[in-house]
Structures are given as C-alpha cells and as structure tokens.
Amino acid sequence: MRILDETALKYIPDRIEDANKGSYGHVLVIAGSNGMSGAAFLSSMAAYRSGAGLVRILTVSKNRTILQTLLPEAIITTYDEREAFESKDCLLSKIKQCLDWASVVVLGPGLSTEYYSKIIVEYVLSECYVPMIIDADALNIIAYDNSLTKYYTDNIIITPHIGEMSRLINIPIEDILADTQKYAKEYANKYGITVVLKSHRSVIAAKEDTFINESGTPAMAKAGSGDVLCGIIAGMFCLGIEDDLAVALGVYIHGLAGNLAGQKQGEHSIIARDILDNIGEVLNRRKRNGLI
C-alpha cells in the first residue's frame, strides 16, 4: 500500500523543447447529454490544464454551441440521439473514427443512461485499445448490464464514487464505506482493471500496487469535482506517465488542486472550475520545491 506525497510531482516531465501539440496526446472525451454539457466541459478542460495537446469532445448535437463557447480550444464532434435508432451504422462509424484518432479516452461524465448512450458505451468498450477512464453514467450503464464487463481489459481505469460502486457490485454504500480498500481491490482483481474508488480518502487499486490518496478537502464535495478528475488522469497519460503512476498521480494532483482552491476561495465556496484553475500551480510546485 502506497501513499504519494509532494515528491511524486518530480515525475511530471518538462515540456520538450521542440514539442508540437501532437507530442502530447489526443484525448477523446465521450461525455455530456442534454442538460449536462458541464461534465464534458470540466473533463476536457482538466485534460488541457494537465498537459494534453489536443482534446476532442464527442457529445450530443445540442451541446455543440455551449461547448464551443466554453472551450473553443476543443474539437467538437456531435451526434444526434436519434442516430442510435435511425442510422446506427453511421453513428458507430463516427465513433470509430474518433477512437482511431485517440491516444486516451474518457467515457461517461454526464453521458446519461438513455438507450443511445448504452449503444455508445458498448461500442466504445468493444473497440477501444488505448487507456480509457470510465466514469459516471458509463459505469451506471455497466452496473445495469453486467455482461458489458466482458469487454474489460487492462487498459481500463474506472473511477466510481461510492454510490456508483454500490450499483456496480450491488453492495450497500455503508458496507463499502466500512472497507473501501477491500472492495476496490476485489473488483480490480476480478476484472484485471484499475479501480479508483473515490471518497474523502480515495483508494487506487492499480496493477502492481494499491495507493491511498491523502490530498483533497471536503471543499471538493461539490458537483463536477469527479469530472475534473477524469480529465487530469487523461492528462497524465498525455505527459507520457505510465500505468499505475499516471492514475495515482492524477488523483493526488486533483486533491492538491482542490486544497489550493479551498484555501483561496473558502471551503464552502469553491466550484469545480476552481479546481481546474489550480492544476497549473500544483504542476509548477515541482520546480518551486526543487524536486527537479
């Protein structure tokens, strides 16, 4: 069992001198639905703030204008929910093109659990061969149809909160809270994936190790904090950090950014965007503290 401290920030590399945006990954964020564009924005912006070179959001058509306004730096690809009924092949080929482009995928924030989202989640699970962070409604869809776990591979990182974990394993929230490590490790071992079980002390049951995260604050108990986490983990992969460390470091940085946001804005007053705004300061600490 490992606990990261600030010395772990030394693993954040410097940006290479002759880098171009292609040097730092292509993040595909499959997120958002009618009324939940915010989740897509928060994950995508977090990926950019954590080093990603290029982010594409795949979302419903209704979100195009709002997301282009909130985050013009992202490429937006959209689908109409009706495509799942009327032209499924066309929808799936659009998703395939996005997957072929991606070096890391975020699947699920604000996606909804509608029929069209189920089609998307099953297809992405079956066709994704790069690291994929699965969160929120994609997990709810898997919880509803456990047969989808047949697509799990060791590229997969799931980031359930306790409520989502409870749905996935059909165990009451209180029982999971009593032994988060046990349930995270059991699920990770059973399926050969990485599990980030989020709470005030998140557990990361990874391939080689289990980590307990000690950064973070109750100030982060606000809508959208988890959406930010997905994007930060994606960003770590874009920086070339690998496997267990990418995930554990992402969780740790997310908590530190939340701590800073809480100090600046007040513990009751931060919103998820404030976590985004403090990621850069956390990444810079490695230089300030002489870690590199």
Ligand X SMILES: Nc1ncnc2c1ncn2[C@@H]1O[C@H](COP(=O)(O)OP(=O)(O)O)[C@@H](O)[C@H]1O
Q: Are strands 156-158 and 194-197 parallel, antiparallel or unpaired?
A: parallel
Is 254 one of the annotated binding-site residues?
Answer: no
Instruction: Write the CA distances from 38 to 51, 59, 192, 212, 271, integer angstroms.
Output: 20, 11, 31, 28, 12
Separation of alpha carbons 275 and 272, rounded Å: 5
Output 131 or 224, the one with its CB closest to ligand X. 224
Select from ligand X, ligand NAX, none the partner in contact with residue 81, using the beta carbon and a kind-dependent cut-off of 5 to 8 Å. Answer: none
Q: 155 with 130: CB under 8 angstroms?
A: yes
Instruction: Tell me the closest approach of the beta carbon of residue 21 to ligand NAX, in angstroms.
Output: 26
Q: Is 274 in the site for ligand NAX (CB under 6 A)?
A: no
What is the DSSP annotation of 155-197?
TEEE--BHHHHHHHHT--HHHHHHTHHHHHHHHHHHHT-EEEE
Beta pairing partners, 158: 134, 195
Chain residues in the site for ligand X (CB under 6 A): 136, 161, 198-200, 202, 216-218, 220-221, 223-227, 229, 254
- Contact status: 163 vs ligand NAX (CB under 6 A): yes
Nearer to ligand NAX, 19 or 178 (CB): 178
Nearest to ligand X of 42, 124 (CB atom): 42
Among the listed residues 86, 59, 88, 90, the one whose alpha carbon sits nearest the alpha carbon of residue 75: 59
141 lies in the site for ligand NAX, by CB under 6 A: no
Torsion of CA 241, 244, 248, 253, to 10 degrees: 10
Distances, alpha carbon 22 to alpha carbons 29, 68, 102, 239, in Å: 17, 21, 11, 11
Residue 202 among known ligand-binding residues: yes
Q: Alpha-carbon distance 56 to 47, whole Å? A: 10
50 is in an annotated binding site: no
Name the one range near ligand NAX by CB under 6 A: 56-64, 83-91, 104-112, 209-217: 104-112
Q: Which of 212, 193, 211 is nearest to 201 (CA)?
A: 212
* Binding-site partner at residue 25 among ligand NAX, ligand X, none, CB < 5 to 8 Å by type: none
List the structure tokens of 132.
Answer: 């994929």
According to the binding rule CB under 6 A, does residue 218 interact with ligand NAX?
no
Our finding on whether 134 is near ligand NAX (CB under 6 A) is no
Taking the least distance from each CB to ligand NAX, the nearer of 130 and 162 is 162
110 annotated as ligand-binding = yes
Question: Taking a C-beta distance cutoff of 8 angstroms, is the pair 164, 227 a contact?
Answer: no
Least CB distance to ligand X at residue 94 (A): 26
The reply on whether position 164 binds ligand NAX by CB under 6 A is yes
Q: Choose between 225 and 278: whose C-beta lies nearer to ligand NAX.
A: 225
Question: Which of ligand NAX, ligand X, none has residue 216 at its interface (CB below 5 to 8 Å by kind)?
Answer: ligand X
- Residues annotated within a binding site: 39, 110, 161, 198-202, 226-227
- Residues annotated within a binding site for (6S)-NADPHX: 39, 110, 161, 227
- Residues annotated within a binding site for AMP: 198-202, 226
Q: Which residues would be at the binding site for ligand NAX (CB under 6 A)?
A: 36, 38-39, 109-111, 136-137, 161-164, 173, 199, 223-224, 226-227
